[in-house]
Structure 1
Amino acid sequence: MPATCGPGERLPSLLVSTPRTLTLPDGVHPETLETERGAFATLTAIPSIGTPLGTVLLVPGWTGSKEDFTPLVDHLCRYGWRTVAVDQRGQYETTGPADKSAYSLAELGADVVAMSKALGGYSQLVGHSFGGLVAREAVLTDPSVFSSISLLCSGPAAFTDEATVQSLQMMAFGLENLPIEQVYDLKLDHDSKTPGYVAPPADVAAFLRKRFTSNVPTSLAEITRRLTDAEDKTELLAKSGVRAQVLHGETDDGWPLAAQQAMAAVLGVEVEVIPDAGHSPAIDQPAKTARLLVDFFHDYPNLRTV
């Protein structure tokens, strides 16, 4: 795996979320979610007053983790929702097997179904980036345990841009043939040479390294491959009966905005744009993102709550 990509190649920034702080807001706590498919690390917040309106389940993307949602967890809880952000299997603080077959979209989606069941069902499901593909698979696996699905800066299928696909394939190859620490160093060297790169504070930089290298290498390699081979199942999602929302940052540089708009059209909804945000609105603009989400959750006469 070369330290840099060739002319025109890029490893999309869509796949990287960088927390601005590692300090958890009051009321947001690490917890373990026990399910019929295993235990998952979470960041959870429960309103301190009154009965929660329901549950919001947040699924992160490639190289990400529950920490990508930290400020959003806090904001959604303040609106009265029990909010749970998770690490997927093999991701950061959730364990996973060194078995390629464990990281198909079907397996990852089944995990999310189990999470929703463990939380009482009827979850408002939010998938960020690659997490959107997993969230969609979960709804298609068992739509009865979800009240809605929000696709945040996600796309309809795998990437098709040749340079992007090649970069992802190189990443998967490196994860299978090099120590994961070396893969991270190569990635960091590449990122640092990208125009506009700004190094994060030392504590955040240390977290990013720890998070990446804590992944099960097989998990990260296979998730990377899903970004090159995932099928478009938007039409199936449209027929699932689960309400859908599509939203992205104003300057999202992940899936082409036209592709996200086309996905929304198939789902029969309008794309909602989050101003002054890129590919990680939960970090860039958590208050605005939370407002769009809760407005969507409540815009339903027969809202199912727990």
Structure 2
Amino acid sequence: MSTPRTLTLPDGVQPVTLETDRGNFATLTAVPDVGTPLGTVLLVPGWTGSKEDFTPLVDHLARYGWRTVAVDQRGQYETPGPADPAAYTLAELGADVVAMSRALGGYSQLVGHSFGGLVAREAVLAEPSVFSTISLLCSGPAGFSDEVKRQGLEMLAFGLENLPIEQVYDLKLDHDSKAPQYVTPAGDIAAFLRSRFTGNTPASLAAMSRRLLDADDRTDKLAKTGVRAQVLYGESDDGWPLEIQDRMADALGVHAQVIADAGHSPAIEQPAITARLLTEFFHDR
């Protein structure tokens, strides 16, 4: 989960509903102030996240000349989703991203953060022709192997399947707040974090948690699609181990790029540097 530092949208970043042939998706969208956009950047958030995880990055990328669209996936925060767990397989979520790219004109520069990287990979595997590039930001090749993370995901998924989501959030907050590195967010941010979590369709969040347990490594298949790939992460990223992300980059034939003074949320922690690395990659033919 990424924690926004402000809820105020930069000038030019607007809530927009993206209509696709697989339903409507809530987005934060920005376009350059002048000139024709260089293309479209499509940003896919991760587990317990939302489009707000990218707010400052949306602004920076638009200033570089790109139409930029950050989305809530199906069942995530402000995008509704069904109660059927079968609606949240990686294949279904990836098909949504394909539909988004098509609705935006195709040839998107696709960026997946954390769990969103697994979804982005699935989208490229399903229909590589509608993507120009894929950037995997603080993401990994498969589900987590760390036993502590796996136990936490199992407990969360079980809770979401058996308890009111508000109670699950309270239990998670109580657990997280006991960690030494926990920082109590400001009142408006804390209210947003609760609203975002409890706004999820429980089946969606439970299924995403389980995909972080059972997702297969399909890196080799991604490498064969011909879609140019980028791997980048914060220097203190605590999601997938950095050596695992490095090995994924090697399998894709690229060098992982490290974002200084950032952890698992470079789009919030270092948006200017993250935007520069992304745009340099988009232009690097």
Fold conserved between structures, TM > 0.5 = yes
Q: In 1, are the aligned partners of 2:33 and 2:63 still within 8 Å (CA)?
A: no
Q: State the match for 2:57 in structure 1.
A: 72
- Structure 2: runs of 5 or more not aligned: none
Aligned partners of 1:271 and 1:50: how far apart in 2?
32
Give me the whole-angstrom Cα distance separating, in 1, the residues matched to 2:147 and 2:69. Answer: 36
**Where does 1:76-115 land on structure 2 (aligned, <5 Å)?**
76-115=61-100
Residue 202 of structure 1 pairs with residue 187 of structure 2: yes
Tell me by how many angstroms 1:161 deviates. Answer: 1.4
Corresponding residue of 1:40: 25
* Residue 283, structure 1, aligned to residue 273, structure 2: no
- Matched to 2:55, the amino acid is T
**In structure 2, distance between residues paired with 1:232 and 1:290:** 27
The runs of at least 4 aligned residues of structure 1 exceeding 2 Å deviation read: none
User: Sequence identity of aligned pairs in percent?
Assistant: 79
- 2:230 matched residue in structure 1: 245
Q: How far apart in 2 are the matches of 1:245 and 1:177?
A: 39
Q: 1:260-279 residue pairs with structure 2 within 5 A?
A: 260-279=245-264
Give the secondary-structure state (helix, strand or coil) at the position aligned to 2:181: coil
Higher relative CO (Cα under 8 Å, sequence separation at least 6) belongs to: 1
Give the TM-score, by structure 1 length: 0.93
CA distance in 1, matches of 2:41, 2:222: 19
**Residues 43 and 69 in structure 2, CA contact (< 8 A), matched pair in contact too:** yes
The AA in structure 2 aligned to 1:56 is V
Provide the residue aligned with 1:217 in structure 2.
202
TM-score (norm. length: structure 2)? 1.00
Q: How many equivalent residue pairs?
A: 285
Deviations 1:27-70 (A, max 9, x none): 00000000000000000001120000000000000000000000
Q: Please provide the CA RMSD for this pair.
A: 0.4
Q: Distance in 2 between matches of 1:276 and 1:196?
A: 16
Distance 1:39 1:21 in 2: 26
Matched, 1:28 2:36: no
Q: Name the SS of the counterpart of 1:208 in structure 2.
A: helix
Residue 5 of structure 1: aligned partner: none
